[in-house]
Structure 1
Amino acid sequence: MKNSLLLITLGLFASVGFSQTTTINVTSPGTLATLVGDQKNVITDLTVTGSLNGDDIIVLREMAGITKSGAPSQGKMSNLDMSGASIVPGGAAYMYDYSTYAQFYTKQDTLNTNTFFNCPALQTVTLPASLKAVEKRVFSVCGNLKSINVPASNTSLKSIDGVLYSTVDRKLLRYPTAHLGETFTIPGDVEIVGYEAFADCLNLLSIVVPEGVTTIEGVAFTFCKKIAAMDIPASVTSIASSAFNYCTGLTDVNVAEGNTVYKSENGVLFNKAMTEILRFPMARSGAYVIPSTVTTVGEYAFDMSSKVTSITMPENLEKIGKYGFYSCSKVTEIHLPNTVNFIGNGAFGFCSALKVLELPDALTEIGDWCFSGCKALPNVVLPATLVKYGEGAFSDCYALTSIAVPEGTTVIPASFCSGSKALANVSLPSTVTNIGQYAFFSCSGMKTLYCYAVQPPQCGFFPFYYVDKAACTLYVPKASVDAYKADNVFKEFNIIEGIEPSGIVGPQVDEVVPVAVYTLDGRVAPANYSGVVIQVMSNGTTRKVLVK
């Protein structure tokens, strides 16, 4: 007798084939593929019992329309009943995340991260009675999922009208993406709105958050594109910075007067003291002046605010969090006060209309991909204090023509200016010791590269790949020409010329002279220009000077 029993309802033998419920008992974990056989892409309604490990989850995912690699399958399973099954460790990883290189395995009585991620055929799911936990992204991108059900005997989870909750921590775990209805009121016993709880719910017009909710977790309402206003009750004490990402219809976030942690002003979300701006609603348009009390622009604060045309910064601003102004695609000028000392990852990424960028004198660090994709930015003057740069900081800045990295900088990060094809003139300081991989990849317009380091910097993979090394002249200290010509990377430049240590042929070693002059709006200053200009000095520093 076989260890595993395949039970098929009498309706199976009707002319409709496998269109009715199929019941499979998996008595040995990892054998579901054998039991299903050649009906894997035929079954639409499945009741599965027994013990399921990673191998079995792979099969269920394929039956629901997705392979382990993320490619579509031919599976048609729309209704899955696991009420009599249990999840056990073992078997292969059921999913591989190509962006993070993470693999996901089953855990005892737990639906682990991404268990049913991107299963397009799935419409209803009944979870095991023995299940104790549902982790993040279990039902992410299940665009046709209408109902998640839980047996009444389950002591850790519950379902009300197809919406999933944790009874252990009073959390709303998941509102199915395709759940019917345009409005939803969160039940009064809920304290936590979970990670991705309402993600991708394109049909919802409004969500009522009741008094008693204390926490709104990350991307809780992401891609709820039709919601125009969110009212935050006084009881809320924690809102994740990404909670409202991609809420493109959002015009107002309103906070109840009695809230002790948060405050709203004209529909914009702040902390109570109004020292940090937390969320500028994405559907707002026109110009905006950040209040003078603000010292921090929070993570994602203006993220994807594609309708705002200008933003005025407060005089005492100190910090800009990651993705703070990401993809503010109509903003043309950014003037940062001298009090700003830190700009986080992707803060101004893909501000595609940005033409004028004034960086503060106090700035010491910018994050990864900070100005990546600023396609219209022609010039940038880096302050002398700025010596730490994130990966890809000025990548894909198609209009950028020159960049001079200040003295004190030791590392040019990976992909620093990669893809900036108009970049003609580059100056690297004497302090640079390392140039990261692909740092100037595809900077095909480069004509001059000044590198003041006495020793050729160590380089990662292909830092100057697709730079025309026959047309670009490499200038290095006169005493170091032979060392650069012998270096495995720099020897590829056909023209390597020696310069005096000051960076200008002729002057004394201690003489520092201007090598480039810009107006305050980032343009190259004409010869007859009068007014305040920014000079890039031969040692990589910058200074403001009044020219009469």
Structure 2
Amino acid sequence: MKKILFLASLALAFTNCSKSNDDDNHDIPAKDYELSEDGLTLKSWKNLDTKTIDMESDSKLQKVNTIGEYAFRQAAKLESIILPKNLKEIGTGAFYGANLKGGVTFNTSAKITIGEDAFKSTEITTLGLPNLTELSKGAFQGCSKLKEVKFGKITKIGEDAFRGCLSLTEINLDGTDLKEVGRAAFSGCEHIEKVTLPATLKKIDNMAFFACFVFQQLTMKATEVPTLVSANALDTGSKIKTNIFVPKGTENSYKTAENWSYYKDQILVKPEF
């Protein structure tokens, strides 16, 4: 009898210990979200009252490498999220309309893919991007409170990527490996004053900086004149003239290049070049 009681007590103690260990993990309740069968894709977030998420600290969510399409579309109260180190892809519209005023933390040093409209119309204020092949169409369009963006390596900024980001004042893409600024990528960023584009740049598409009303300074690092698809790419829509600084020895090439010639009186050599 004593042996039976001892074994029962031991089993109870083990159960309590296991429960305590589970509590110590601080894992997010599984009912709050839906994963794919292999656990690698976050398909949807179900707890719409969630304000903060740390995926990297959760034993299941830290394994996720893909945020599915529109996974957080209804999570209007979500203020901040820490993404897992395994992340490779953020799907179309994944955070469309979420709050995110507290920010998004990327942990990965690998290149990831950010889908179309992924963070469209969020209230994010600062942004530190990881290495990207391309920032897809409309990825941060309409993020009117976005004030600062720090870029990792990136090849292309897609169409409408930052369109209507009213609080941006400066964009520095120097050293990013950028080759192309897409159509209307920064159109309607009404408070951008300064932009620096890297030596690797090959193309600026239509309306890239259209309606950037206080755009005062564009610094070009490319010694080979990039294609300016249309003169309207740099049409600010205001009487403010944008000074276009180019590397020493390239000013005549810029002034005579197609569509750049429209801005020949604004093309200058910056002293430090």
Q: Structure 1-normalised TM-score?
A: 0.41
Partners of 2:70 and 2:95 within 8 A in 1? yes
Deviations 1:257-315 (A, max 9, x none): xxxxxxx9214111123221101137334223332121211111112421222222223
Residue 484 of structure 1 deviates from its aligned partner by 2.1
Report whether the alignment pairs 1:324 with 2:89. Answer: no
Q: Which residue of 1 aligns with 2:46?
A: 281
SS in 2 for 1:266: helix
- Counterpart contact for 2:192–2:212, Cα < 8 Å: yes
Equivalent residues of 1:282, 1:307 under 8 A apart: no
- 2:225 equivalent in structure 1: 456
Q: Distance in 1 between matches of 2:195 and 2:117?
A: 22
Cα separation, partners in 2 of 1:355 and 1:470, compared to 1, 3 Å = closer
The aligned counterpart of 2:67 is 297
Residue 370 in structure 1 maps to residue 139 in structure 2: yes
Instruction: Report the AA paired with residue 440 of structure 1.
Output: F
- Helix, strand or coil at the partner of 2:171: strand
Distance change >3 Å, CA 487–CA 304, structure 1 → 2? farther
- Aligned-partner residue type, residue 321 of structure 1: G
Assess if the C-alpha contact under 8 Å between 2:141 and 2:164 holds in 1.
Answer: yes
Query: 1:430 aligns to what SS in structure 2?
Result: coil
SS in 1 for 2:79: strand
2:117 corresponds in structure 1 to 346
Residue identity in the other structure for 2:261: K
Conservation of the 8 A alpha-carbon contact between 2:33 and 2:47? no
Higher normalized helix content (fraction of residues): 2
**Structure 2 residue aligned with 1:399:** 167
Give the Cα separation in 2 of the matches to 1:354 and 1:306. Answer: 12
Gaps (5+ residues) in structure 1?
Answer: 1-263, 506-548
Q: Does 1:489 align with 2:254?
A: no
- In structure 2, what is the equivalent of residue 424 of structure 1? 193
- In 2, Cα distance between the equivalents of 1:282 and 1:423? 37
- Please list the CA deviations of residues 137-156 of structure 1 after superposition, one character each: whole Å capped at 9, or x if unmatched: xxxxxxxxxxxxxxxxxxxx
CA RMSD of aligned residues (A): 2.2
What is the CA distance between 1:420 and its match in structure 2?
A: 0.5
Change (3 A) 1:280 1:480: same
Describe the SS at the equivalent of 1:463: helix
Higher RCO, 1 or 2 (CA under 8 Å, sep at least 6)? 2
Match for 1:272 among 22, 37, 43? 37
Q: For residues 333-368 of structure 1, what are the alpha-carbon distances to aligned partners after superposition, in whole Å with 9 as ceiling and x for unaligned?
A: 1111124521111111111x21121212x3332211
Tell me the alpha carbon deviations over residues 399-428 of structure 1, each in whole angstroms, 9 at most, x when there is no partner. 111112245322211111111011111111
- Which aligned runs of 4 or more in structure 1 are off by greater than 6 angstroms? none
- Cα deviations across residues 172-200 of structure 1 (Å, max 9, x unaligned)? xxxxxxxxxxxxxxxxxxxxxxxxxxxxx
Alpha-carbon distance in structure 2 between the residues aligned to 1:281 and 1:307: 12
Q: Which residue of 2 aligns with 1:471?
A: 241
Contact kept, 8 Å, 1:322 with 1:344, in 2: the verdict is yes
Distance 1:331 1:433, change over 3 A: same
Q: Any residues of structure 2 matched to 1:38-437 within 5 Å, and which? A: 265-281=30-46, 283-290=48-55, 291-338=61-108, 339=110, 341-351=112-122, 353-360=123-130, 362-383=131-152, 385-405=153-173, 406-437=175-206
Equivalent position SS for 1:497: strand
Cross-structure match for 1:181: none
The count of aligned residue pairs is: 236
Contact 1:469 1:492 in 2 (8 A): no
Whether the 8 Å CA contact 1:295–1:316 is kept in 2: the answer is: yes
**Residues 202-246 of structure 1, C-alpha deviation per residue, up to 9 Å, x if partnerless?**
xxxxxxxxxxxxxxxxxxxxxxxxxxxxxxxxxxxxxxxxxxxxx
Partner of 2:250: 480
Counterpart code for 1:312: I
CA distance, structure 2, for counterparts of residue 438 and residue 464 of structure 1: 7
Q: Which runs of 5+ in 2 are unaligned?
A: 1-28, 56-60
CA distance in 1, matches of 2:36, 2:176: 38
Task: Answer whether contact 2:97 2:119 (CA < 8 A) is retained.
Answer: yes
Paired amino acid for 2:119: F
Distance 1:447 1:282, change over 3 A: farther
Q: Tell me the distance in 1 between the aligned counterparts of 2:240 and 2:260.
A: 12
Secondary structure class of the residue paired with 2:138: coil
Is residue 447–residue 472 contact of structure 1 (8 Å, CA) maintained in 2?
Answer: yes
Which structure shows the bigger proportion of residues in strand conformation?
1
Q: Contact (CA 8 Å) 1:345, 1:390: kept in 2 or not?
A: no
- 1:443 corresponds to: 212
Q: Is the 8 A contact 1:422 1:446 kept in 2?
A: yes
**AA at the equivalent of 1:329:** N
1:29-66 deviation digits (Å, cap 9, x = unpaired): xxxxxxxxxxxxxxxxxxxxxxxxxxxxxxxxxxxxxx
